[in-house]
Copies of this chain bind each other. A is one copy, B any other.
Amino acid sequence: MTISQIDMPRFLSRLHALSEIGRDGQGRLTRLAASDADRAGRETVAAWMHEAGLEVLIDRVGNLIGLWQPDGVTGAPIMMGSHIDTVIDAGAYDGCVGVLAGIAVVEALKAAGYRPGRPLAVAAFTNEEGVRYAPDMMGSLVYADGLAPEAALATVGTDGTVLGEELARIGQAGPHEPGFLRPHAYVELHVEQGPVLEREGVAIGAVADLQGISWQEVTIDGTANHAGTTPMALRRDAGVAAAHLITWLRDRARAGNGRSVATVGRLRFEPDAINIIPGRAILTVDLRDPDAERLVALETDFAVQLDEIRRTEDVTVTIRRLARFEPVLFDAAIVRTIEAAAAARHLTVRRMTSGAGHDAQMMARICPSAMIFVPSIGGISHNPREQTHARDLEAGVNILLDVASHLSNV
Residues of A within 8 A of B (CB): 87-89, 129-131, 134, 136, 192-195, 211, 213, 215, 223-234, 237, 239-240, 242-244, 246-247, 250, 253-254, 258, 260-267, 269, 271-279, 284, 286, 288, 322, 354-357, 379-383
Query: Which of B230, B253, B262, B379 is close to A379, meaning CB atoms less than 8 Å apart?
Result: B230
Q: Can you spell out 14 A-B residue pairs with CB atoms less than 8 angstroms apart?
A: A195-B231, A226-B356, A227-B288, A228-B357, A230-B355, A230-B379, A233-B258, A237-B250, A239-B267, A242-B243, A265-B273, A266-B272, A274-B286, A274-B322
Chain B residues near A228: list those with CB within 8 A.
Answer: 193-194, 211, 213, 261, 286, 288, 354-357
**Shortest Cβ distance from residue A214 to the other chain B in the assembled complex, whole angstroms:** 11
**Shortest Cβ distance from residue A381 to the other chain B in the assembled complex, whole angstroms:** 4
Q: Check if A273 sits within 8 Å of B382, measured CB to CB.
A: yes
**Shortest Cβ distance from residue A98 to the other chain B in the assembled complex, whole angstroms:** 15
Chain B residues near A286: list those with CB within 8 A.
Answer: 227-228, 274-275
**Shortest Cβ distance from residue A392 to the other chain B in the assembled complex, whole angstroms:** 16
Q: Check if A194 sits within 8 Å of B136, measured CB to CB.
A: no
Query: Which of B229, B274, B276 is close to A215, meaning CB atoms less than 8 Å apart?
Result: B274
**Shortest Cβ distance from residue A129 to the other chain B in the assembled complex, whole angstroms:** 8
Residue among A223, A231, A279, A383 with the highest chain B CB neighbour number at 10 A: A231
Q: Check if B136 sits within 8 Å of A383, measured CB to CB.
A: no
Q: Check if B274 sits within 8 Å of A265, measured CB to CB.
A: yes
Q: Check if B193 sits within 8 Å of A382, measured CB to CB.
A: no
**Shortest Cβ distance from residue A286 to the other chain B in the assembled complex, whole angstroms:** 5
Given contacts A243-B246, A244-B247, A286-B274, contact A266 B266 (CB under 8 A): no
**Shortest Cβ distance from residue A156 to the other chain B in the assembled complex, whole angstroms:** 16
**Shortest Cβ distance from residue A47 to the other chain B in the assembled complex, whole angstroms:** 29
Q: Check if B250 sits within 8 Å of A232, measured CB to CB.
A: yes
Question: In the complex the two chains form, what is the Cα distance from A290 to B355 in whole Å?
Answer: 51
CB nearest neighbor in B for A246: B243
Q: Check if B239 sits within 8 Å of A246, measured CB to CB.
A: yes
Given contacts A239-B264, A239-B265, A382-B276, contact A229 B271 (CB under 8 A): no
Residue among A229, A247, A322 with the highest chain B CB neighbour number at 10 A: A229
Chain B residues near A233: list those with CB within 8 A.
Answer: 254, 258
Q: Check if B382 sits within 8 Å of A261, measured CB to CB.
A: no
Question: In the complex the two chains form, what is the Cα distance from A272 to B266 in whole Å?
Answer: 5
Chain B residues near A88: list those with CB within 8 A.
Answer: 271-273
Q: Check if B194 sits within 8 Å of A226, measured CB to CB.
A: yes
Given contacts A267-B239, A275-B265, contact A379 B247 (CB under 8 A): no
CB nearest neighbor in B for A262: B232
Q: Check if B227 sits within 8 Å of A265, measured CB to CB.
A: yes
Q: Check if B244 sits within 8 Å of A265, measured CB to CB.
A: no
Chain B residues near A354: list those with CB within 8 A.
Answer: 228-229
CB nearest neighbor in B for A131: B273
Chain B residues near A242: list those with CB within 8 A.
Answer: 243, 246
Question: In the complex the two chains form, what is the Cα distance from A194 to B278 in whole Å?
Answer: 16
**Shortest Cβ distance from residue A90 to the other chain B in the assembled complex, whole angstroms:** 9
